[in-house]
Structure 1
């Protein structure tokens, strides 16, 4: 576990050149390379196998180990493991009452502070567990803020300014909700939630307050096999998630990815080893209350910093090909930058997320692979993705056109892989 044990009140702050775009028919089969199995959409398995054959250790290329990186929630597993942990914690009274809800997030609005105070009450001492198991109003407010960034009355839960390509307050808020707990405690909650979610039937839900949430999580067999095949072929495989790092580590161990290869939101700990509302920073951004988490461009920053040792402002920039991943996979706009940085294959699971799907369908370098979700895939999106007008997430939170590297506009694309 990589955390800074410091007082909260003293905080301070790939590979060689690739061949031409893959052509599955012409590639000779290397029988010494580990082989993928399982059912994939179209030629995706063959394309991934070709990258493994050409860039893995079985190809006999000297030099640095190639790197692969994957988002976690809804990329390697079906559903969200951080949400599963929150669900378990709410049903077992594991959220501690803060001295002020405003302390939990730099951007929490007055409306959210009032809503949480009224719903969760002040009947227990500061630092004591809130009775969320028997307080549906409190549970509702927490879940609505986490899921939608608003209160149950519809008011904005977060206010102010932030870089929308480096963070999103409601994601940063999740580890902040567990302030006061030790990492070991949060890890134990994640383990219990994992056992529960893996045992729940596929498709099952549960009701928390008035919210209906998934009750199950499943590892995707194809992704488990892909990661293990990459590892056998000499790749260093990393998980890069916008979830809480102790939670993600519990789950990533289940596919053979250790804590050193798991990157997620890293909380700063106080002198007693307890989680604070502060997060470690990236790319020259010091410890803050969530301004530089692994989110959109933030995922690139954390990969550059933690895997390739690029620090300071340069960590926010695309690196040369020797300092980029070979294979990268994701499912949402939060993954678009680091998935696009990969030099061998950009794998995207289709969840109808505009910016990443525009990049995938545009397929500028011929290396984008789109796959429906392996469990309960979404139906075809009826309307074209608005790539030419409003699919890009601007740093100020507005929407704009998706642009290619040469500045040309990506046209709108129909949804064809579902």
Structure 2
């Protein structure tokens, strides 16, 4: 395969970065365990040995997306569905208070199904249906667009920003408690379990991937600073990241702005010179790069949106979706893509322009092979204005359509 050949040539000709020496062979170096696809474990181990304490280094950064990268299934969705079933969401005075992009059709649908004017949101099937449909598909149950207007499609997506906004009026401690209860429930549910809310059938379980847990622990033992960067709600992600030994200081996600009484508001913190807003900038596609540059490397202002020199980029980065493609592509040692058939990420991974991309199937219930090649040369790239076009390499050439080969 092309990407394996490219890696072999790169590894034979030079080290993983021009300034990094090859690691010595130390039998007591932290070692990965478990079953990985192909030669992924050996290649990950090479990065650990090269950038870690076995080569006399400490403080290299590794960055992971969370949902469906470290866990199977989405932990923010697990918390949202738990809150819906237990009546923990508060009715806003107007549903348009939650998102600046919410359409009149969505406002009317939510008002009819869930009500307004304070108090807990009813957990009935109609209310759950409308909220879940907007979260999943950005439409109402009748198919009307739920969001409209202008936003940078590489910095935010309204339905992702909307979930923390739904918890407005609650405190971070309350949201943490909901996430803790949802985590307990999701880990106890058997693999493959589902539940029905309204007309929506949803996963009822979440599992940590054993391979990713071991990779994170091995990186930490080898002196890496390991971060999570997620487009979920930060209080929720912190509950789950603690389960793999990552503290709140190393967990980056959507950070709600609090009011004077310490309650969550519909606004979230900004990045890269963009002030706090109602969801205009979140850790999403280019936003994940911005938050890593700002929070990990201290890059301020507009420069945080730009790719930094190699010493100010993660050595290893892992993700499963197009929302991860920018920061995963920034890694200097290895880009780990969990295959969920997301076109921009998988086109980058299969094109393997620098010989450092790894593709792994999902570790639990992997998807079948995508029958058609990814549309890399035509529509895989999402522009800031939301239009789709060809995905291009650094030299401007279009990435050819790529078949799905790791599944």
TM-score, normalised via structure 2 length = 0.94
TM-superposed deviation, 1:33:
1.5
Structure 2 residue 102 is matched with structure 1 residue 102: no
CA–CA separation in structure 1 for the residues paired with 2:271 and 2:98: 20
Shift of 1:20: 4.3
Residue 68 of structure 1 aligns to a residue whose secondary structure is strand
Structure 1: 4+ residue segments shifted above 2 A = 26-30
Shift of 1:217: 0.1
> Where in structure 2 are the equivalents of 1:36-185 lying within 5 Å?
36-61=32-57, 65-122=59-116, 126-132=117-123, 135-185=124-174
Task: String of CA shifts for 1:186-229, please: whole Å, max 9, x gaps.
Answer: 00000000000000000000000000000000000000000000
8 Å contact from structure 2 (residues 16, 332) kept in 1: no
Whether contact under 8 Å (2:91, 2:115) holds in the other structure is no
Q: Does 1:311 align with 2:305?
A: no
> Contact 1:72/1:239 (CA < 8 Å) preserved in 2?
yes
Alpha-carbon distance in structure 1 between the residues aligned to 2:23 and 2:83:
50
Do 1:76 and 1:219's aligned partners in 2 also have CA atoms closer than 8 Å?
yes
User: Take 1:208 and 1:49, find their aligned partners in 2: how far apart are those partners?
Assistant: 43
Shift of 1:19: 1.6
User: Tell me, which stretches of 5 or more residues in structure 1 are unaligned?
Assistant: 1-17
Indicate yes or no: 2:316 matched with 1:327: yes
Q: Distance in 2 between matches of 1:33 and 1:56?
A: 9
Paired residue secondary structure (2:62): strand
> Is the contact between residue 127 and residue 180 of structure 1 (CA under 8 Å) also seen in structure 2?
no
What do the CA deviations read for 1:67-111 (whole angstroms, capped 9, x no partner)? 000000000000000000001000000010000000000100111
CA distance in 2, matches of 1:184, 1:413: 45
Q: Is the counterpart of residue 255 in structure 1 residue 244 in structure 2?
A: yes
The RMSD of aligned alpha carbons is: 1.3
> 8 Å contact 2:377–2:398 — kept in the other structure?
yes
Match of 2:6 in 1: none
Q: Distance in 2 between matches of 1:409 and 1:97?
A: 48
SS of structure 2 residue aligned to 1:173 = helix
Contact (CA 8 Å) 1:333, 1:355: kept in 2 or not?
A: yes
The answer (yes or no) to whether the contact 2:24–2:55 under 8 Å persists in 1 is: no
Is residue 269 from structure 1 mapped to residue 258 from structure 2 by the alignment? yes
**Alignment-derived partner of residue 278 in structure 1:** 267
Aligned length: 391
SS at match of 1:237: strand
Contact conserved, 2:319 with 2:336, CA < 8 A, in 1? Answer: yes
**Unpaired segments ≥5 residues, structure 2:** 1-13
Does the 8 Å CA contact 1:325/1:343 hold for their aligned counterparts? yes
Shift of 1:57: 1.3
| Contact in 2 for aligned 1:21/1:367 (Cα 8 Å) | no
Task: Answer yes or no: is the 8 Å Cα contact 2:241–2:251 preserved in 1.
Answer: yes
Corresponding position of 2:232: 243
